[in-house]
Structure 1
């Protein structure tokens, strides 16, 4: 059987904030792999380290000890310029805070990372992404002229259009109504199933997590459980157990 490759992985990852008596160990020697062409959700109680894990994996935060890899690239060996280039050229990001440029139109925000990287936009994929996310009639609008849900869909389109090696999402549906949330999750699912992309999200929403192939649960800075092909009911049961334990 062929060995399944990892899009990203961590080896004995430790992240500590502060020093001395005030030091807080947010991640405690975590080792994990995120498979290529798979949708993974990271869940856990508040303060469990789930966002810290994603930020370290995505090169948004430096690790204290251990190593993180995107493909075969060891992030600890990159300088700031190389890290910026890796995030720009190989990764996609969807944040709850949108991070859109206010002076640019939706269309310009969507293609901005590709324009900066000097990449050609696949017009067919661009049309599919913007249409499925309900943005076709809003592309000439600036962020201030869009609702919060529409701004988040622009942020999702921006991450998807470049077809990066891996898309990281931090509560990507956190500001969306149920219909908009389902549209975003459907297109993330399609990106994995049809276009062979890799998606990793942090979420507190069991419904969002149920779209994933695998859910990884953190508690107190450690991985404590994982579910494959999860249902909402299974996710709720595990989260209930973790909350009770906490």
Structure 2
């Protein structure tokens, strides 16, 4: 058992308790999450899957403090997000979390290097030079650091986004379809980067994905349907994951 998995058996990185999210009100109200309770352990790679409209992105956004909840609680470590004001939430996302999105979210006027250090620069923090050099080297970005996003391929842009998420050593990295805009080779590169960050650095990673191949890189795959957790698969093969997803799609 890798060290990361052994450690993952005890410490909690993030947790949802009876998390409920509703949009609208009255007869037009839509319930996206129905009292979801789940725990993500430190040093573990988790993928969240489900049919379109199942609530998977909503769950991640609520747990990462990107969206408010209707009722229930979301925790990062021991911090209850419902007790934080807007400024405190912004600081928590900046200082304790890392994000990787489908659309890369790079600032087009900044170089790759400036994009990587941007969150730390905004916070007025120094980035550890040794760690910065290790991450950019590991991600194959050393020769691309002076390039702007328009001068990089999609895969290179997402590697910059990964470096930005990893360089501050956040408590947890959230990814919303991080390989959704990439070809298969670039997707594997990004997923191997995340897998290595878990196995080598003890990082905690949670991604939302529709791709069974991407989910197969994870230690654990959580399946949602109609706003509820309906399955929780550990160390499953791509075939296991695909079979579970196919079953959920057929039931919908």
Q: Does 1:78 align with 2:84?
A: yes
- Listed as ranges, the matches of 1:170-181 within 5 Å are 170-181=176-187
Provide, for residues 71-96 of structure 1, a one-character-per-residue CA deviation record: whole Å limited to 9, x for no partner: 00000000000000000000000001
Q: Which runs of 5+ in 1 are unaligned?
A: none
Partner of 1:157: 163
Partner of 1:135: 141
Deviation of residue 161 (structure 1)?
1.0
- Listed as ranges, the matches of 1:7-156 within 5 Å are 7-156=13-162
User: Helix, strand or coil: the match of 2:240?
Assistant: helix
Q: Does 1:205 align with 2:206?
A: no
Partner of 1:244: 250
CA contact (8 A) 1:132 1:183 kept: no
Q: Which runs of 4+ in 1 moved over 4 A?
A: none
Deviation of residue 98 (structure 1)?
1.2
Partner of 2:238: 232
Q: Which runs of 5+ in 2 are unaligned?
A: 1-6
Distance 1:174 1:107 in 2: 23
Distance 1:148 1:124 in 2: 26
Distance 1:193 1:151 in 2: 23
TM-score, normalised to structure 1's length?
A: 0.96
Distance 2:187 2:111 in 1: 22
Deviation of residue 185 (structure 1)?
1.0
Distance 1:13 1:87 in 2: 19
TM-score, normalised to structure 2's length?
A: 0.94
Partner of 2:4: none
- After the TM superposition, which of the residue ranges 76-85 and 179-188 deviates more from structure 2? 179-188
Deviation of residue 9 (structure 1)?
0.3
CA contact (8 A) 1:129 1:187 kept: no
Provide, for residues 20-77 of structure 1, a one-character-per-residue CA deviation record: whole Å limited to 9, x for no partner: 1111000000000000111000000000000000000000000000000000000000
Distance 1:109 1:186 in 2: 21
CA contact (8 A) 1:110 1:157 kept: yes
